[in-house]
Amino acid sequence: MLRAKTSRLPHGAGILARGYVMDELHIRDGTTTRSAFEHSPEPLVGQTHWASGEWNLGAERRLWNSLQNTRADYCRLSHHLIRLVRRRPVARTIA
């Protein structure tokens, strides 16, 4: 089981940011099923640092465990992940 001390994936900032990514995928691609959401994060592969490394958030670099459950951090992380998703072409899925 992942814990916030060892990963930011189950952490407040990670949960909120992933929710915004799911919203973006639904709006852009029509993603609605669990299977479609599980196969849609290709733009994020190699770009996320939930449990080690350093996030490159544009003008700022942050260690993986320095992200906190604050409005500023979850907004920064959400915007970063959504920018990555928006870089790929729109791919409409069938529900």
pLDDT per residue as tens digits for the range 25-74: 999 989 999 888 887 778 888 899 999 999 999 889 999 999 999 999 99
Q: Is the dihedral of CA 45, 51, 54, 60 positive or negative?
A: positive
* Cα–Cα distance measured from residue 42 to residue 10, given in angstroms and rounded to the nearest whole number: 20
- In sequence order, what E strands does the chain have? 54-56, 61-63
Query: In the chain, what are the domain boundaries?
Result: 12-86
- Do residues 47 and 90 touch, judged by C-beta distance below 8 A? no
The 3-state DSSP class for residue 64 equals helix
pLDDT at 91: 64
Decide which of 93 and 24 is more confident.
24
